[in-house]
Structure 1
Amino acid sequence: MHDWDDAFNNMGHVEGSDALPGLWAGQAAAYRETVRVDTDLAYGPSVREKFDLIWPVDSPKGLVVFVHGGFWMRLDKSYWSHLAEGARAQGWAVAIPSYTLTPEARISEITKQIGTAIEAAASLVEGPIRLMGHSAGGHLVTRMTCDNTPLSGAILARIVHVLSISGLHDLRPLRHTAMNDTLHLTTKEATAESPALLVPVPGSQISVCVGGGERPEFIRQARLLDIIWNGLDAKIELTIEGDHNHFTLLEGLKSPISQICATLLKTKKQFCPEKTLF
Structure 2
Amino acid sequence: MTLDDAYDNSGHIPDAAAFLDRWADDAADWRGVEAAIGRARLNLPYGGAPRERFDLFLPAGRPEGLAVFVHGGYWLRFGREDWSHLAQGCTAAGWACALPSYTLAPEARITTMTKQIGQAIAAAAEQVRGPIALSGHSAGGHLVARMAMTDAPISEDVAARVVRVVPISPLSDLRPLLETTMNSKLGLDASEAASESPALGDLRDGVSVTTWVGGAERPAFLDQARWLGEAWQTPVRIAQGKHHFDVIDALREPGSAMLRDLLGDSPAA
1:58 alignment counterpart: 61
Task: Answer yes or no: is 1:121 the counterpart of 2:124.
Answer: yes
| 2:128 partner SS | coil
2:254 alignment counterpart: 256
Q: CA deviation at 1:241?
A: 1.1
- CA–CA separation in structure 1 for the residues paired with 2:167 and 2:178: 22
Residue in structure 2 matching 1:72, options 71, 75, 81: 75
2:163 alignment counterpart: 160
1:273 alignment counterpart: none
- Counterpart of 2:23, as a letter, is W
Q: CA deviation at 1:203?
A: 2.9
- CA–CA separation in structure 2 for the residues paired with 1:249 and 1:44: 31
Does the CA-based 8 Å contact 2:54-2:120 persist in structure 1? Answer: yes
Q: CA deviation at 1:47?
A: 0.4
2:245 alignment counterpart: 247
| 2:259 partner SS | helix
1:223 alignment counterpart: 226
TM-score, normalising length: structure 2: 0.95
| 1:119 partner SS | helix
- CA–CA separation in structure 2 for the residues paired with 1:83 and 1:259: 15
| 1:48 partner SS | coil
2:216 alignment counterpart: 213
- Once the two structures are superposed, residues 31-80 of structure 1 have per-residue CA deviations (whole angstroms, 9 ceiling, x without a partner) of 01222111100000000000000000001001000000000010000010
Does the CA-based 8 Å contact 2:163-2:206 persist in structure 1? Answer: no
Unaligned runs of 5+ in 2: none
Runs of 4+ in 1 over 6 A off after TM superposition: none
Q: CA deviation at 1:17?
A: 0.6
| 1:161 partner SS | strand
- CA–CA separation in structure 2 for the residues paired with 1:191 and 1:117: 24
2:97 alignment counterpart: 94
- Counterpart of 1:105, as a letter, is A
Deviating more after overlay: 13-22 vs 112-121: 13-22
Q: How many residues align?
A: 261
- CA–CA separation in structure 2 for the residues paired with 1:202 and 1:90: 26
- CA–CA separation in structure 2 for the residues paired with 1:203 and 1:126: 19
- CA–CA separation in structure 1 for the residues paired with 2:16 and 2:256: 23
| 1:34 partner SS | helix
Q: CA deviation at 1:85?
A: 0.7
- Counterpart of 1:224, as a letter, is W
TM-score, normalising length: structure 1: 0.92
- Counterpart of 1:214, as a letter, is E
2:6 alignment counterpart: 7
Task: Answer yes or no: is 1:17 the counterpart of 2:20.
Answer: no
1:49 alignment counterpart: 52
Q: CA deviation at 1:18?
A: 1.5
- Counterpart of 1:251, as a letter, is D
- Counterpart of 2:79, as a letter, is D
| 2:210 partner SS | strand
1:276 alignment counterpart: none
| 2:4 partner SS | helix
1:131 alignment counterpart: 134
Q: CA deviation at 1:14?
A: 0.2
Q: CA deviation at 1:20?
A: 1.8
2:203 alignment counterpart: 200
Q: CA deviation at 1:263?
A: 1.9
Deviating more after overlay: 138-147 vs 17-26: 17-26
Residue in structure 1 matching 2:110, options 107, 120, 138: 107
Residue in structure 1 matching 2:85, options 72, 82, 103: 82
- Counterpart of 1:129, as a letter, is I
- Once the two structures are superposed, residues 161-188 of structure 1 have per-residue CA deviations (whole angstroms, 9 ceiling, x without a partner) of 0000000100001011010011010001
Unaligned runs of 5+ in 1: 231-235, 268-278
